[in-house]
Structure 1
Amino acid sequence: MFTGIVEIIGTVKEYITVDDSASGGNGVSLTIQNAADILGDCHLGDSIAINGTCLTVTEFDNDTFKVGISQETLKKTCLGSLEKGDKVNLERAISGDVRYGGHLVQGHVDTIAQIVSRENESNSIIFTFKLRDTEFIDYIVNKGFICIDGTSLTIVDVDYSAKTFKIMMVAYTQSKVIMPSKKIGDWVNIEVDLTGKLIAKQVQVALENQLKAKDSLLLSYIDKSIERILDEKLKK
């Protein structure tokens, strides 16, 4: 688990599509440098979020670490577009004594979104994003949490018809994350608030159970509602 509070910004040292080294496993690997500040307590197998994506450390030294990237992760995230020299947000998995300055983040990216506008307001920047997988707009609510490229942010506006949402980034946050360097048309990783997904699942299960039950109060209500509507139509 993570908090969405970026610890440092690292730099892509190497991106290998078929890494045949011992730590690469013949898969895709990503090596990040300028990461010394978060590697003092690092161990093989630890989780580090790169742009909001929880990945496992397979090799490290004083300044760099390597992770493997699965094909499923490449489909869900923007990591496949990273190139040598690109900057990335980094956060270690939380320990028991960490304050939750952001919100509970799994590091499991749901989808990606494209920056469709950015505008300055005083010392803040307002970003507007459009989701690639539009069904996730249902989990985004005004003043709710969202994790963008590993950064915990607050939604300031949602347009459910256009499938877009906005966040406002204050000056302090701008200095700590990679978002300000991005331009219109760039893509970002999105993890919607876990709470919304859990509630939606609970409601779905409850409705399905009601529909299966012989003495379902829900079905009874639906039947009565249909009867009432039909009676009203027939009277006309």
Structure 2
Amino acid sequence: MFTGIVETVGSIIDLKNDKDNYEVTIQVEDKADFLSDCQIGDSISCSGICLTVIEFDSNKNWFKVGISIETLRRTTIEKMWTSLENAHKINLERAMGSGNHRFGGHYVQGHVDTIAEVVEAVEEGDSVNFKYKLRDIENVKYIVEKGFITVDGASLTITNVDDDKGTFGVSMIKHTRDVLAKRPIGTFINVEVDVTGKMIAKQVDLYMKKYTK
């Protein structure tokens, strides 16, 4: 479980992109203690994808994760994590701890629902308004204005939704943009919708099927 408050970014330093055994090694940047309490089997949110640590070096500040075929289908990995030359940056967040910390984002599972293309970025004062177009438009039914959404691991507030076009928007202040890895127009991001909305939709659907026959 995560909060959607990105801690730092990392870079891919090694890649084994065999679908039967897809592994990625990530170098953590600008946070020397990120892996200080890391254990094999821990979960780390990598641009919104909950991935399992299979190897790490806390002194050199890198970790390796294994990636399943299902994860490849759902996420931006095959589009964006395909080579070492593209210097793709990854948003990183450790799983929630049990200490006395304020909960700043929303409940994020790291279970990506789909991907979306960055189609617009419009400056407004110190903020930038981004628009994204969903690959799988059926997910738009779970996206509501002023609700939660996770974009590449970041907990954000939805500012607008177009159900017909399958697009939604968010607004990012400068601080958020400075923390997150940059995603130019034409690139893709991972999307996790609010799990509460999915649960409600499922229950309503089952109720309607049962009582409207």
Q: Same fold (TM over 0.5)?
A: yes
Tell me the equivalent position of 1:139.
142
- 2:171 is the alignment partner of 1:168: yes
Equivalent residue for 1:73, pick from 51, 71, 74:
71
> How high is the TM-score relative to the length of structure 1?
0.83
C-alpha separation in 2, matches of 1:150 and 1:75: 17
Give, in angstroms, the shift of residue 208 of structure 1.
Answer: 2.2
- Residue identity opposite 2:71 in structure 1: T
Give, in angstroms, the shift of residue 207 of structure 1.
Answer: 1.7
- Aligned 8 A contact 1:8 1:37 in 2: no
> How high is the TM-score relative to the length of structure 2?
0.92
Higher strand share: 2
* Higher relative contact order structure (alpha carbons within 8 Å, sequence separation ≥ 6): 2
Tell me the equivalent position of 1:96.
98
Higher helix share: 1
Post-superposition Cα deviations, 1:163-183, rounded to whole Å, max 9, x if no partner, equal: 1111000011111111xx221
The structure with the largest alpha-carbon Rg is 1
- 2:28 is the alignment partner of 1:34: yes
- Residue identity opposite 1:34 in structure 2: V
- Aligned 8 A contact 1:60 1:66 in 2: yes
Tell me the equivalent position of 1:211.
212
Give, in angstroms, the shift of residue 96 of structure 1.
Answer: 2.4
Tell me the equivalent position of 2:55.
59
List 4+ stretches of structure 1 deviating above 3 A.
none
1:209 aligned counterpart, secondary structure = helix
C-alpha separation in 2, matches of 1:129 and 1:160: 12
Tell me the equivalent position of 1:202.
203
Tell me the equivalent position of 1:14.
14
Residue range with higher mean Cα deviation, 155-164 or 107-116 = 155-164
2:130 aligned counterpart, secondary structure = strand
Give, in angstroms, the shift of residue 200 of structure 1.
Answer: 0.4
Residue range with higher mean Cα deviation, 80-89 or 123-132 = 80-89
- Aligned 8 A contact 1:134 1:163 in 2: yes
Number of paired residues? 204
- Residue identity opposite 2:123 in structure 1: N
- Aligned 8 A contact 2:28 2:34 in 1: no
Post-superposition Cα deviations, 1:51-79, rounded to whole Å, max 9, x if no partner, equal: 00000000000211000011110110012
- Residue identity opposite 1:7 in structure 2: E
- Residue identity opposite 1:90 in structure 2: L
C-alpha separation in 1, matches of 2:210 and 2:102: 39
State the Cα RMSD in Å. Answer: 1.4
Report the identity percentage: 49
- Residue identity opposite 1:31 in structure 2: T
Give, in angstroms, the shift of residue 106 of structure 1.
Answer: 0.5
Tell me the equivalent position of 2:180.
177
Tell me the equivalent position of 2:88.
86
- Residue identity opposite 1:6 in structure 2: V
Long gaps (5+) in structure 2: none
Tell me the equivalent position of 1:191.
192
